Amino acid sequence: MSLSMGYLTSKQKLVWRLKSEGYTEAGIGRKLDITRQTVHKALNVANQKILQALEETAKINRIEIQKVSPTQGYLTGYSPHFNARAFVTYCPNNGLQICYSNLDNCKKCNRANKCREILFKEARDREIEFEEDISQMPPSKVAQALFSIIE
């Protein structure tokens, strides 16, 4: 178990993902052939671990926390270092990710395409579709669009 994966076991990750996809606890239990009570316990543990991972990630990166939702897998805050809004997210396929909005240096960065790819993967995992074509926007603008929908 690692920080980047939210400290979750594979079973906790699966239960959390199914819940985030809209399954009820009873539905998850039927799908996985476990009791609703087992699902409930696994979700509680998963949410606690995700909360811990989100908060530790914010602390390590000196992000001032504004809002945290472990059940939805995100934390919003402010980074004094970058003078920018910060988003820490967790999803089973992407693990923990940090994005900053309103950074003007994305055009100069050689990782801009990789960042954009991660953000689009995050959107797909959350079943989010954008109303406008944002495929060529700088990653910081994609992050801003994505997190305005998540919040």
Domain-wise residue ranges, the chain: 3-150
* pLDDT digit string, tens, across residues 22-45: 999 999 999 999 999 999 999 999
What average pLDDT does the segment 109-136 reach?
82
Beta bridge mates, 77: 65, 86
Residue 99 is predicted with a pLDDT of: 86
Residue 102's pLDDT is what? 67
Give one DSSP letter per residue of 50-73, joined into a string.
Answer: HHHHHHHHHHHTT-EEEEEETTTT
83 vs 134, residue with greater confidence: 83
The mean predicted confidence, pLDDT, of the chain is 88
State pTM to two decimals: 0.86
